[in-house]
Every structure is written in structure tokens, then in C-alpha cells.
Amino acid sequence: MMLSTTNQDQKALTSLKVKNFMNKLHKFLFLTAISSLYGIQTAQATSTFQSQSSVSISIDNITNNTNTGDYSSLDIYGLFEPSYPIKIITGDADSNKSYTSSEIDSDIAAVSAGDSFNQIFNSSGNANNGGNVEAFYEALGSLEFINNSSDSFTIEYSLNYILNAQVTGDHATNTIAIGYGNILTDINWDEWERGDVYLDASASTEIPFLNDGISATPSFSLTLGAFESNLFYADVSITSYAEALAVAPVPAPAAGWLMLSSLVFLRNYRKAG
């Protein structure tokens, strides 16, 4: 079926469009009036950053390839520990900045198949009226495997992470990063990029489209030879910066005029309607 419109339809459509437009204009002017009032009272600016993340490490399966079912010679330790220094905060006078971050549980836990352990990393801060705040926050997550025998073990484990970073205000940047991989602790730490993975979520008030919000659940399988040890690490760091301009208030006469003219127009429009 073909649709067609008559002149009458066109007029009705045009009228509808005008009404819609005026409704939108009405709303716009109302908002303008309110926001102009806000302008009178704006005395300082604020910039903020927030980070949220969750990291979980799970042991999914363990197999003794030499003596089936015997796990007595395999030690596994899971740990989230604060880095040193765990956090560094710099910036202007305290009155112009704030910063908070979640605490890290640094208890070492012996884990076995089916176990998992996790950690939440949150941080936030803000700078006000000419102040600035800069913070670095880091925690080290690890799963250490120690084979005390000549047996061979295959261990399957997985990582689950969610990273978020946001900023608001004049100028702020925020990057939350995770790096994970394996290190053969009994050989050396000098080999570059043994499966090292780096990912970050970042936000910046300068560029609105930086990536924010990443998550994944990579899984791994590791064969541990006789008397070998190995460490899987999953480290999270957050680097944040906020700087707030000292903004002079909008001149009251200008803001007041804008509010007044908007309200007068609204009143007249309603009368005419």
C-alpha cells in the first residue's frame, strides 16, 4: 500500500512540527533561565575522577600428571598486596583537593582447585577552585605455584576483571590499568614480555571519547615441571589527575538580564497561546 499526504495533512503536520518546536523552545528557555541563575552563583569550578574495578583470580582445575590425585607436593598461594608505595598523593592545599581509595586485603591465602579470590579497587578524588590533585594507587595480585616434588602438574586458572574510569569538570585524567602474565620465579625476571598483557581504561576531559569500561575473563593453563615454581601476576594501578580552574562568577547583570528576558518571553508566549 502506498501512503500519500494531502494539503490538509501537510498543514496539520506543519502545525504539529511548529508546536513541537515551540514546546522544545519553551523547555530550552526555561532551562536557560534556570541555568543563568546558576551562573550568578558559580564561584568555583570542580574537577573529579572516579575509578572502579574488580579483579578475581580463580583456580579452575589441577592435574597431577605423574601421580594422579596427589596434590600434597604442590603449594599455591593467592595474594593481593599493596604495592610500595601504594599511593602517592600530591597537589595543592588540602582545602582544594580530596582523594580516597579502597584498602587492600594483603592476607596470603592457600588456595586449591575451585577456590577464587578477588579484590575491589576504587578510588576517587576532586580538585576545587584552582586546586589540583594527583594520585597514584597500585595493588599487586598474584598466584604463586610451588612444586616441591619431581611430579608434573597442570594447573588451569582464570582471571576476571572489570575496569572503569571517569572524569568530570575542567581538566582531569584518569587511567586504570591492569598488567598480567607469568614469571618463572626460579629462573630470572629478565625476559621481556613473557605473556605480559597490558590494558587500560582511561578518561580525559580533554578528549571525550577515550576508552572507558573494559572487562574480560582470560583463562590460562600452566604445566609445572619438577621442582619448578611460577608466579602469575595481575597488577592494577590507577593514575589520576584533576585540576580545577579558579573561575570568576558570571557578572550578575548579564546573568540577571538573561534570566529576566527568558522569563518575559515565556510569559508572553503563554499568553499568546
- Interface ranges with other proteins (CB under 8 A): 83, 85, 88, 90, 134-136, 138, 140, 170-171, 173, 177, 179-181, 183, 189-194, 196, 198, 204, 206-207, 209-210, 233, 235, 237, 239, 241, 243, 245
Residue 101 in grid coordinates: 581509595
Among residues 60 and 170, whose Cβ is nearest to other proteins?
170
Half-sphere exposure of 132 (CA within 13 A, CB side): 11
Residues β-bridged to residue 204: 173
User: Rounded CA gap, 83 and 237, in Å?
Assistant: 9
Whole-angstrom Cα distance, residue 86 to residue 100? 12
Task: Kindly state the smallest distance separating residue 182's Cβ from other proteins, in Å.
Answer: 9
| In the complex, minimum distance from the CB of residue 187 to other proteins, in angstroms, rounded to a whole number | 13
**For helices 252-272 and 7-41, angle between their N-to-C axes, nearest 10 degrees:** 150
Nearer to other proteins, 181 or 256 (CB): 181
Q: Which three cell numbers stand for residue 18?
A: 511548529
Write down the least CB distance from residue 191 to other proteins, Å: 7
Rank residues 45 and 76 by Cβ distance to other proteins and give the closer one: 45
Q: How far is the CB of 204 from other proteins (least distance, A)?
A: 6
Q: Cβ closer to other proteins: 65 or 90?
A: 90
Q: Are 153 and 62 in contact (CB under 8 A)?
A: yes
